[in-house]
Chains A and B, each alone.
Chain A
Amino acid sequence: MLARTVSFTIDGTTVRPVEVEVDVCRGLPSFGLVGLPDTALREARERVRAAMENSGYEFPLRRITASLAPADLRKAGPGFDLALAGALATAAGEIPPGRLDRWALVGELGLDGTVRPVRGALAMAEGAREAGLRGVIVAGPNGPEAALAEGVRVQMIDALAELRDVIGDEPPGREAEAAPLEAATGRSGPDLADLRGQPGLRRALEVSAAGAHGLLMVGPPGSGKSLAARRLPSLLPALSREEALEVARIGGICGQFDPAAGRPFRAPHHTVTRAGLVGGGSPPRPGEITLAHRGVLFLDELPEFRRDVLEALREPLEAGRVEISRASGRYSMPAGFMLVAAANPCPCGRGSSDPGCRCTQPAIDRYSGALSGALADRIDMTVTVAQPGFDSMSGPPGEDSATIRERVEPARERMEARLGPGRANGDASREETSRFPVSGDGLALLEEATRSSRLSGRAHDRVLRLAMTLADLAGSHEIGDEEMSVALQLRRREVPG
C-alpha cells in the first residue's frame, strides 16, 4: 500500500518541497529510506518507529520503503519525521487514505510522540502556498511563525497522536495564530537617547542612517562605539510589512525567529570564519551578512578581522546578495545590509591624544586606516569617538531615536524618489551623484579641497554622496557650502600614499 505526504527542505534561504512516499508491502520487516538523506534524516527511521508505537499507532512489521523526491536534492534535518510518520500511518491504514496528501507536514518527533519545532516554519508555510497545498501542519511552537504566511492554513499539533483526529475534510490540530509583526515595523532595538552628549557622533549616525552610508568609528575602548552602533537600527526607516516578513523568514530559517526584533543588528566576533560571515558549508547555510539583511552588520575591532574574510564581503556589498557556487548548484541569498565598523585609534588603544600612546603614525595608519579594497569603497564616513566628558555623561539624555527618524524618513523618501525604490545615496553611482545640483559656493569649496587635499576620484564622489544626504536631510534641492563643508569632514580619509 502506498501513501504520500509533503514536507520541505531548506536550501540556502529558500525552501523546496519534498514529496514523501511510503510503500508498505510484504516481505521481511525492514525500513529503508532513499533519496539523499543526511545523517539526521537517516536517523528518522528510529524516531518514527518509536514515536508511532508510543502514540498508539501500529507500526507495520512488513517491508517499508520510504522515498524522498526529488531524488537528486540533498535533504537535511529532522523536519521530515512528521511527514514520514503521516505517510506511514496512512500506508498502514491507520489514517484514511487521501486525508493528508494536500497538507505539508513539518516537525521533528520525540520518541514519546511529541512534535517538536523545526527551523524555517514561515518559509515552509509560504512554500506550501506556492505549491498549491491547503496548508501546513506544524509543531505548536512553530505555529505563530508559520501563521505569518498569508493565504495558507496553519494547524498546530503537539503530539503525533493528534494526526489521527482527521474528521472528514477537517485537518487535525488547532488553528495557529500569527505572531504580532507590528513591533517589527516600529522601533528597532535600543534607543539613541541613551547616548549623552557626543553631538559629532550623533550627527554622523544620523547621516549614516539617512543615506545608508558605511561608517567607520575610531575611538578608544569604552568611548561608546558599540553602544552607538547598536542604536543605529533604531534610526533607520521602519520596515515595511514585506520587509519585516523577509527578515522574519530569514531569522526563522536560521533558528532565530523573533518577530518583534525590527531591523536586524548583527555583530560577529572578529574570529568569525569566511563561511560564518558570508554563508557557506555544504549544503550552504546563511551567514551573518544574510542575517543582517535589511539591518546593520557591525564589525567591531575591524583591524582584527582576517583580511580574506573581509575580502569575501566585496561581492555581497556590491550586489546586496551573496552567491555561493557549489557542485550541486548555485545558491543566492539576500545580503543587503548597512556596514558599520569600529576600530581602536592605534595598536595600543589609547589614542594619540593620550600622552601614554607612543604609537607612530604609520603604525596608526596600518592599524586603523588601511581598509581592504572591498570595504574601502563602501565605507563613506569616519567618525572619531572620544571619551565623553563629565558634563555630557551627567547631562540630560540625548534626542530620542523617534525624533531623529522623523528627519531620516523624509530624507530617505527623497532619495527613493530620485534613485528608485529601496535605494539610498550610499549606493548612488557616480553618474547619479553628478546629477544632483551643487551651488556655486559648494562647488568652489569642493574644488579647493580637491586641490589642497589631493582628493582622489573616489574621495571626491564620496564627499558628493555625503553632501547629497546632508541636502536631503535639510530638505534642500541643492548642495550648498554648508553641506559641502560638513561632508568634507564626515568623509572617510584615505591613508596618504
Chain B
Amino acid sequence: MSGAGLQVDACLDCLRRSWLLADLGPFIEVASDDRPGRRTPELLALDDRDLTMAMAPSRAEPILAANRSLGRDEFAAELQSARCWAVCRHDADFPSVLKRDPDGPRCLIGRGDRTLLAEALPTGSVTVVGARRATREGLSFARSLGKDLARSGLVVISGLALGIDGAVHRGALDSGGPGRTVAVLGCGADRAYPGRHRLLHQEIIDHGVVISEMPPGTRPWRWSFPARNRIMAALGGATVVVEARIGSGSLITADLATGSGRDIGAVPGPVGSPLSEGTHELIRDGAALIRDARDVIELLGLPDRPAPTPREAVPADPEAVAVFEAIADGGGSVDPIAERTGMAATEVLSALTRLELEGLVEIWPTGDVTVVPPGRGRGARR
C-alpha cells in the first residue's frame, strides 16, 4: 500500500478500527465491567457497527460518522508525531498467526523494529506472563527465564506490566540476543505504562519492538488489558505463566492461549503460596510444568534449537565459593554469611560483588542476597 511516509502501511479501514476503539474506550469501560475481563475478547470480535451500537447506542451514529471521515493524512500525522508505524492484517509484515485469527486485532501500531513481527513469529516465540505483585523468587526466576529463552534465540513476548512481565523483558534484554523481546501494550504504544517501566519501554523500543492495537496516545482502560492479553496469547507459540493468583489476568491469558490452540506451561511454586495457586491449578489441568528454558523449548517442540548454555556453576576463587555456598544454604545478608563462613565483613562484601557481577547471586534493595535460580545444568554443584 502506498501512504504518506514509510510509517503507515495499513489500509484505511483497519486504521479506522483502531481509532474507533480509542473513541469507544470510555463506553466499553462502562459497558464491559466484567472484571477480570473475560468478555472483552468476545466484544472485540464484533464488527465496527455492531460494537459501536452495542457499546454506545445513543451516540453510535456520530461516532461512526466521525470515524469514517478520518483520512490517511490524519492517521499519518498522528502516527508520525508519535514516531509510530502501523501495519494491518493485509500487510506482509503482519504476524501470520494473527491473520489467521478472525477475532484478532486488525491493525498493530508500534515502535521499534517491525521486521521482528514478521520474522520470528509464531514458531520461534513464547509468551511469558505472571503476577504484578510477585515474589522475589518469582521475579528472579522470570528474569533468568527471559534471559535463557532469548539466549537460545526465541522471541520473548510479554506485557510490560510491573512484576513478572517486566522481569521477563529485562532478562531478555540482558541476554544480549540473539532472541529479542516484544511488549504488547494495552495503551498506545508510545505511552510508557506503568510509569515505572519508562526506561524498560525505551530499551525495548531500541532493541525489540513495542506494539499495541490502540492508536498512539490512548490511555489504558481496564478493558484494554484483557484485549491486549488476547494478542499476547495468539502471538506466542506457547504461553508460560510464572506466578498467578486464582482468577488473575495471567490465567485469562492462558485460557485465551488455549482457545487459540497454543500450549500452556506453568511454573510451580511453594505449596500454599497464593501466588502459585494459579499456576498449580494450570498444571493440574494439564499445563506443562516449567522448570527452566529447556522445558519451554521442549513445549514448543523445537528439538534442534540449541539449548541455553548453563552458566558456569561455581565461581573461580575459594572465597567466593565459600560465600556462594553460605548463601545457597539459606540466603540472608552480610552478617549471617560472615557468621557461617567465619570470614571478615570486607572479604564477604568484595566476594559478593564478584558473585553479583557473575550473575550468580541477586542482591535486593533491602540488602538481602539470594541465589539466582539455577538451570538444570547446574544440578551437580556439590
Residue from B198, B352, B363 in contact with A497 in the complex, judged by beta carbons closer than 8 Å: B198
Q: Is A297 an interface residue (CB 8 A)?
A: no
**With A384-B368, A497-B199 given, is the CB distance from A200 to B333 under 8 Å?**
yes
A382: B residues at CB distance < 8 A? 365-367
Q: Is B350 an interface residue (CB 8 A)?
A: yes
Which of A48-56, A137-145, A424-432, A445-453 is near enough to bind chain B?
A: A445-453
Chain B proximity of A371: nearest CB distance (Å): 10
Asked if B353 and A384 make an inter-chain contact with CB atoms under 8 angstroms apart, the answer reads no
Q: Is A394 an interface residue (CB 8 A)?
A: no
Q: Residue-by-residue, is A361-377 near B (CB-CB < 8 Å gives 1, otherwise 0)?
A: 11111001100000000
Once the chains are docked, how many angstroms separate the CA of A353 from the CA of B330?
8
Asked if B139 and A386 make an inter-chain contact with CB atoms under 8 angstroms apart, the answer reads no
Closest A residue to B363 by beta carbon equals A493
Which of A5-13, A39-47, A92-100, A482-490 is near enough to bind chain B?
A: A482-490
Q: Is B306 an interface residue (CB 8 A)?
A: no
Asked if B332 and A361 make an inter-chain contact with CB atoms under 8 angstroms apart, the answer reads no
Asked if B336 and A386 make an inter-chain contact with CB atoms under 8 angstroms apart, the answer reads yes
**With A197-B335, A389-B339 given, is the CB distance from A353 to B368 under 8 Å?**
yes
B348: A residues at CB distance < 8 A? 199-200
Residues of B contacting A: mostly = helix
Chain A proximity of B113: nearest CB distance (Å): 21
A383: B residues at CB distance < 8 A? 334, 367
Q: Is B211 an interface residue (CB 8 A)?
A: no
Chain A proximity of B217: nearest CB distance (Å): 22
Closest A residue to B162 by beta carbon equals A362
Asked if A199 and B353 make an inter-chain contact with CB atoms under 8 angstroms apart, the answer reads no
Q: Is A269 an interface residue (CB 8 A)?
A: no
Residue from A384, A481, A492 in contact with B333 in the complex, judged by beta carbons closer than 8 Å: A384
Chain B proximity of A50: nearest CB distance (Å): 62
Q: Is A277 an interface residue (CB 8 A)?
A: no
Q: Is A352 an interface residue (CB 8 A)?
A: yes
Asked if A199 and B199 make an inter-chain contact with CB atoms under 8 angstroms apart, the answer reads no
Residues of A contacting B: mostly = helix
A453: B residues at CB distance < 8 A? 356
Q: Is A360 an interface residue (CB 8 A)?
A: yes
Which of B9-17, B23-31, B128-136, B181-189 is near enough to bind chain A?
A: B128-136
Asked if A200 and B368 make an inter-chain contact with CB atoms under 8 angstroms apart, the answer reads no
Q: In chain B between 252 and 299, which residues have their CB closer than 8 angstroms to a CB of chain A?
A: 273-275
Asked if B132 and A202 make an inter-chain contact with CB atoms under 8 angstroms apart, the answer reads no
Asked if B346 and A361 make an inter-chain contact with CB atoms under 8 angstroms apart, the answer reads no
Asked if B367 and A452 make an inter-chain contact with CB atoms under 8 angstroms apart, the answer reads no
Closest B residue to A395 by beta carbon equals B339
**With A199-B344, A482-B346 given, is the CB distance from A360 to B332 under 8 Å?**
no
Once the chains are docked, how many angstroms separate the CA of A363 from the CA of B135?
9
Q: Is B307 an interface residue (CB 8 A)?
A: no
Q: Residue-by-residue, is B137-170 near A (CB-CB < 8 Å gives 1, otherwise 0)?
A: 0110000000000000000000000110000000
B350: A residues at CB distance < 8 A? 481-482, 485-486, 489
Chain A proximity of B249: nearest CB distance (Å): 16
How many interface contacts (CB-CB < 8 Å) are there between A and B? 132
A392: B residues at CB distance < 8 A? 339
B131: A residues at CB distance < 8 A? 360
Which of A201, A358, A361, A453 counts the most chain B CB atoms within 10 A?
A361
B163: A residues at CB distance < 8 A? 360-362
Q: Is B90 an interface residue (CB 8 A)?
A: no
Q: Is A131 an interface residue (CB 8 A)?
A: no
Chain B proximity of A254: nearest CB distance (Å): 35
Q: Is B338 an interface residue (CB 8 A)?
A: yes
Chain A proximity of B136: nearest CB distance (Å): 5
Q: Is B357 an interface residue (CB 8 A)?
A: yes
Q: Is A385 an interface residue (CB 8 A)?
A: yes
Which of B197, B334, B354, B356 counts the most chain A CB atoms within 10 A?
B334
Once the chains are docked, how many angstroms separate the CA of A200 from the CA of B196?
32
Q: Residue-by-residue, is A348-362 near B (CB-CB < 8 Å gives 1, otherwise 0)?
A: 000111000010111
Q: Is B331 an interface residue (CB 8 A)?
A: yes
Q: Is B328 an interface residue (CB 8 A)?
A: no
Residue from B133, B273, B334, B353 in contact with A200 in the complex, judged by beta carbons closer than 8 Å: B334
For the complex of A and B, the 8 pairs showing the least CB-CB separation, nearest first, are A200-B334, A384-B367, A384-B333, A485-B353, A485-B350, A199-B345, A369-B365, A360-B133
Besides A364-B366, A384-B335, A482-B346, 6 more A-B contacts (Cβ < 8 Å) are A202-B345, A203-B345, A346-B366, A352-B366, A384-B334, A449-B357
Task: Name A residues whose Cβ lies closer than 8 Å to a Cβ of B.
Answer: 197-203, 218, 345-346, 351-353, 358, 360-365, 368-369, 382-386, 388-389, 391-392, 445, 448-449, 452-453, 481-482, 484-486, 488-490, 492-497
